[in-house]
Chain A
Amino acid sequence: MWNNVTILFDEYMGTGLIIILYLMSLIYLWVKEKRNYVRILFIYVPVILLFFFFNPFFAGVLYKLAEGEIYYRILWLLPVTVTIAFAVVTLYGRLPDKNRTVFALAAAAGIALSGSYIYRNPYFQKAENFYHVPDSVVHICDAIVVPGREVQAVFPLELVQYIRQYEPTICMPYGREMTVDRWNNWGELPGEMEKEIINLSRLAPLAKEEGCHYIILSEEKTIVGNPSEYNWEEFGRTDGYVIYRDFDFSLDIG
């Protein structure tokens, strides 16, 4: 348990520089701050919380009650941002006027260098539309949606996490759960869908088993087999994807 907690804390700290700034701020406030109510919230409580966080007995109980992987959220109770900002501003106020600007700029630069600019995170990208899902998702969903009923469609893995955010009337035989390796949900259908060479004699029966009205494949995939043999027809092409309609399954309303 102790190992789990220390690994989690280590991951939470990142480079550890911001946490060092936080600890320095705590020590500074411990020495300089006289108001008891501020000391309680910004010094005593964080110390007690850290004691709880690193307590193996407490961690053991919480790991059992909740998911272990969200144990780090206890650290959200530490008011890191407010404490550092308050300590910096307090120190700034104690300096002679002529040194203040230099100190503020140095502190800002120190924080910036210790942390990591959030918009540089590789998961951030320019939104393609007001829905914040890829344009391809919007175009495919708008093409296959049938007002008044749900449709079943199978998509390449790179699209599955966005489809039902944008259009909840489109159902899928599998979704985001397939993209998380540690959940071990991998199945035959995604296995066939993700192959570089798609063999329709294997994919079509699996898609039919799931009652898919539409099958969406990347245009880059090589397809072996004749779609019409499986009662599939090309429904359209958009954004590098080809949409097949399986006419074995009706889309009548009611």
Chain B
Amino acid sequence: MRKDAWILTALRILTAVLLLLVIPALVGGLFRQNVDKDMRGPVFQWISGQIFLWACFQIICVPMILLEYDFGYVVKAFNGVTVLAALAAAVSLVRNRKAVTAVTEIRGSDRKRSARNILWILFWMILLFQFVQAVRMTYRDGDDAFYVAISSITQEAQTMYRKLPYTGYATILDTRHGLAPFPVWIAYLADMTGIRAVSVAHVIAPIALIAMTYAIFFLLGRVLLQQKRDSLPLFLIFTEILVLFGDYSFYTVENFMIARSRQGKAALGSIVFPMIVLLLLILLRRLHEGEKISLKSYILLAAACMTGCLCSTMGAMLCCMLVGIVGACGAVVYRRWKILIPMALCCLPNVCYAVLYLVLG
């Protein structure tokens, strides 16, 4: 490869890192305060920022698809919203910089500390192995002919859901799939980085999405193992083993997470549902401890539910189902019926998408 080609490739990869890591982590600054004391680190910032951006993408993209706007308008509008969110987060971070708490230090004997370090190294090695496999290996899945082709068409022809992905023939708007435009987000990444949508879908996005899943497991582990944070690396290693050996049937979420990461339904199962579980866990813990639940917690929960709609049309219903059942259990166990109102409001956008699906689909 020529030197300028190397530089161009490096720039494209840097842009992908910027879009998938740096900008979401910055936007996540909006949720650094007031959600939970355990959720003030960079990992939560990254995940919450990405979830918020995904929700914004859904809000921008679906109306434009239904109104048959070109993809270029989605890119411009989403870039505008991203810049505004990043600026707002930067202002919020500067304002609250004194309130930022240091990461909890875990103490222990030298022997325990070195054992913990070995476990962390093992965790990172297994994670790195999964990244390498995501680049090195490919999974033959017929559904890619639909989803990845939509991303490629969107990048190339600038139209959204107005061409048949299998043949390329023009068609009337495919509203059913247009309500869950995860492939358009892949096309957005492709458009911004200048990398072909097929490579973004099969190589770039899987690395980011697999990393996000483990980041959410890390956050869940922090809450679950509150008194035993020493065990966090071991917990994560076990999640890795369960994922790597999770191909016990064609339908498991682990199969989708590793083999079909680029498809929205994989993100629904391996990112959105665990994220909703995390947010509800934090919310219930605050109820348990009699602490106030901030508006930001509910905004993030609504954003996660909306991300469910971005990933899959069935996500709209499943996210509501999860929030509804947890909300009802929380209300009964803690006798706090009032939490049902904001939780129902978090599901409202999903209900709207579900109605749209039934009416238009």
Chain A interface residues (CB < 8 Å from chain B)? 11-15, 17-18, 35-38, 40-41, 44-45, 48-49, 52, 62, 65-66, 70, 72-77, 79-82, 84-86, 88-89, 92-93, 104, 107-108, 111-112, 114-121, 123-128, 130-133, 150, 160-162, 164-177, 179-180
Contact = CB atoms under 8 A, between A and B. Distances in A.
Which secondary structure dominates chain B's binding surface?
helix
Nearest to A104: B234
Given A38-B281, A168-B155, A168-B168, 9 more contacts: A12-B251, A104-B234, A108-B238, A108-B241, A111-B242, A127-B135, A164-B168, A168-B156, A171-B167
Interface stretch (B93-101, B224-232, B345-353): B224-232
Interface residues of B, number: 88
B220 interface: yes
Contact of A81 (B203, B254, B285): B254
Contacts of B168: 150, 164, 168-172
B246 interface: yes
A118 B318 contact: no
B149 A165 contact: yes
A112 B241 contact: yes
B333 interface: yes
Nearest to B262: A132
B192 to A, nearest CB: 18
Interface string B212-232: 000001001100110010010
Nearest to A109: B241
Contact of B231 (A35, A44, A93, A114): A93
Given A92-B231, A176-B145, A40 B156 contact: no
A45 B329 contact: yes
Contacts of B202: 127, 131-132
A81 to B, nearest CB: 4
Contacts of B280: 41
Interface in B148-196: 148-149, 152-153, 155-157, 163-169, 196
B136 A126 contact: yes
Contacts of B326: 40-41, 45
- Which residue, A15, A38, A125, A170, has most C-beta atoms of chain B within 10 A? A38
Contact of B277 (A79, A84, A166): A79
A185 B20 CA distance: 39
A66 B288 contact: no
Given A79-B277, A81-B239, A172-B167, A160 B141 contact: no
A118 B317 contact: no
A230 to B, nearest CB: 23
Contacts of A160: 145, 166
B231 A131 contact: no
A128 B196 CA distance: 16
Contacts of B253: 76, 80-81
Contact of A174 (B167, B241, B248, B274): B167
A118 B242 contact: no
- Which residue, B163, B325, B333, has most C-beta atoms of chain A within 10 A? B325
13 contacts: A73-B312, A76-B318, A86-B225, A89-B231, A116-B248, A118-B245, A123-B141, A132-B138, A132-B198, A165-B198, A168-B157, A172-B166, A177-B166
A76 B250 contact: no
Contact of B333 (A15, A40, A108, A111): A40
Contacts of B231: 89, 92-93
Contact of B244 (A117, A165, A174): A117
B146 interface: yes
A157 to B, nearest CB: 11
Given A41-B281, A133-B198, A48 B242 contact: no
A70 B242 CA distance: 23
A175 B145 CA distance: 8
Nearest to A152: B168
Contacts of B141: 123
A71 to B, nearest CB: 9
Given A14-B248, A117-B245, A131-B199, A37 B284 contact: yes
B205 to A, nearest CB: 11
A93 B229 CA distance: 11
B247 interface: yes
Nearest to B216: A82
